[in-house]
């Protein structure tokens, strides 16, 4: 299937139905994931017998499916010379280590100063461009990190690469490891947080287990260091990719991410005299198969300086308390 400004007509043959439209098309051409096809269907670019329809529409023999893949609209988002730490780049994709404070894509309230603005400048001064699938505001964006979360991200430069990466994220074959500094210490040194989450019924800006549309989500964790009973350093292995999943899951076990006012409140903003500058969450590892060459790729970003500084201060606080305890007992 070509990728831009094309029209394809498909007549459903005997023995093909009944099947969901998005399933039928995804099986016919793996270059487009079901997610991408669903977006095209909902936008009216795919019709059945001349009529717009839904991804769940059941096709039958004799149906005429017309698929139009429109040429991407020109971006009206401006390039901006924002520094980026690029770890890898080829014709199909780009991998970077996102800094704290950088919003991934333009949205109301953040129409400039985003990763997309920075990448537009990067492509303008170098070679390459975004994939077209994400639309005007989210070109090339296969996944995202919250504004104050740091770490590894992959960006698609070709539609084929975009579809391949989306499929890997959907099948949960991407290797992802996060690090976090959290308030409190989990009862078990390692385990799985299995909690279905969705938009909170009382606060639509938040996600929680208190929802009318729960989606299965699970996170493995491992405690790597304890700072007495006040805080801990953990590694997180998301098994699913729900919005705010790691932050919601840690809050649900009573150990919110330090610096996270949304899910941790005021108690997450400081520990004694240790002030927390931001959400202490970092995407440490990202591993995937290159969507074109099928080569195994793995990227690691060390803990950023601000998280290292907070961990050092918590460590020093633990050592002071240990020393004071010994002196009180005359040891």
pLDDT in tens, 144-198: 999 999 999 999 998 899 999 999 999 999 999 999 999 999 999 999 999 999 9
- d(CA 22, CA 4) in angstroms, rounded, equals 19
Q: Is position 261 within any domain? A: yes
Q: Do 211 and 315 belong to one domain?
A: yes
* Structural domain span for residue 36: 6-69
Q: Do 164 and 206 belong to one domain?
A: no
Q: Do 203 and 316 belong to one domain?
A: yes
Q: E strand or H helix at 172, and its extent?
A: none
Q: Do 179 and 238 belong to one domain?
A: yes
Q: Is position 206 within any domain? A: yes
CATH of the domain at 110: 3.30.2350.10
Q: In 18-94, which residue ranges form alpha helices assigned H by DSSP?
A: 21-28, 34-42
The DSSP 8-state label assigned to residue 107 in this structure reads B
Residue after which a domain boundary falls, among 142, 170, 198: 170
Give me the residues of the chain with pLDDT under 70, please. 1-5, 29-31, 71-75, 108-109, 125-128, 132-138, 322-331
Q: Do 54 and 117 belong to one domain?
A: no
Collect all residues with Cβ–Cβ distance below 8 Å to 217 and sequence separation of at least 6: 194, 195, 196, 197, 239, 240, 242, 245, 249
Question: From the candidates 146, 159, 167, 260, which is the catalytic residue?
Answer: 146
Q: Do 244 and 178 belong to one domain?
A: yes
Number of domains the chain is built from = 3
**pLDDT the model gives residue 2:** 40
Which of 265, 256, 304 lies closest to 282 in space, CA to CA? 304
Residue after which a domain boundary falls, among 147, 170, 193: 170
Q: Do 63 and 85 belong to one domain?
A: no
Q: Is position 125 within any domain? A: yes
**pLDDT the model gives residue 273:** 87
What letters, b where the CB count within 10 A reaches 16 and e where it falls short, cover 172-192?
Answer: eebebbbbbbbbbbbeeeeee
Considering the entire predicted model, what is its pTM?
0.75
Q: Do 26 and 48 belong to one domain?
A: yes
Please write the tens of the pLDDT for every residue from 274-302: 999 999 999 999 999 999 999 999 999 99
Catalytic residue flag (residue 146): yes
Q: In 156-304, which residue ranges form alpha helices assigned H by DSSP?
A: 159-170, 245-252, 261-264
CATH of the domain at 42: 3.10.290.10
Q: Do 157 and 184 belong to one domain?
A: no
Residue after which a domain boundary falls, among 135, 170, 205: 170
């Amino acid at each position: 299937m070509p990728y831009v400004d094309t029209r394809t007509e498909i007549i459903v043959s005997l023995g093909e139905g009944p099947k969901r439209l998005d399933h039928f098309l995804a099986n016919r051409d793996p270059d487009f994931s079901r997610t991408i096809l669903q977006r095209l269907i909902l936008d009216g670019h795919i019709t059945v017998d001349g009529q717009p329809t839904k991804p769940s529409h059941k096709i039958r023999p004799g149906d005429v499916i017309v698929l139009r893949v429109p040429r991407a609209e020109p971006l009206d988002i401006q390039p901006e010379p924002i520094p980026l730490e690029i770890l890898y780049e080829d014709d199909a994709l780009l991998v970077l280590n996102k800094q704290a404070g950088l919003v991934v894509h333009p949205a109301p309230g953040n129409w400039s100063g985003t990763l997309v603005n920075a990448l537009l400048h990067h492509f303008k001064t170098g070679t390459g461009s975004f994939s077209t699938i994400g639309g005007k505001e989210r070109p090339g964006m296969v996944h995202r990190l919250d504004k104050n979360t740091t770490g590894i991200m992959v960006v698609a430069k070709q539609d084929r690469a975009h579809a391949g990466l989306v499929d890997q994220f959907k099948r949960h074959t991407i290797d992802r490891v996060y690090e976090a500094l959290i308030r409190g210490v989990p009862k078990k040194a390692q385990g799985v947080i299995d909690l279905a989450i969705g938009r909170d019924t009382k606060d639509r800006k938040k996600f929680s287990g208190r929802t009318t549309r729960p989606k299965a989500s699970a996170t493995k964790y491992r405690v790597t260091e304890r700072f007495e009973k006040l805080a801990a350093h953990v590694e997180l292995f998301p098994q699913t990719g729900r919005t705010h999943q790691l932050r919601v899951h840690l809050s649900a076990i009573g150990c919110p991410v330090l610096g996270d006012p949304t899910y941790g409140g005021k108690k997450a903003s400081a520990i004694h005299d240790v002030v927390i500058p931001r959400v202490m969450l970092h995407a440490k590892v990202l591993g995937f198969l290159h969507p074109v060459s099928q080569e195994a790729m793995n990227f690691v970003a060390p803990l950023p300086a601000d998280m290292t500084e907070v961990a050092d201060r918590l460590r020093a606080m633990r050592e002071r308390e240990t020393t004071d305890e010994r002196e009180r007992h005359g040891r």
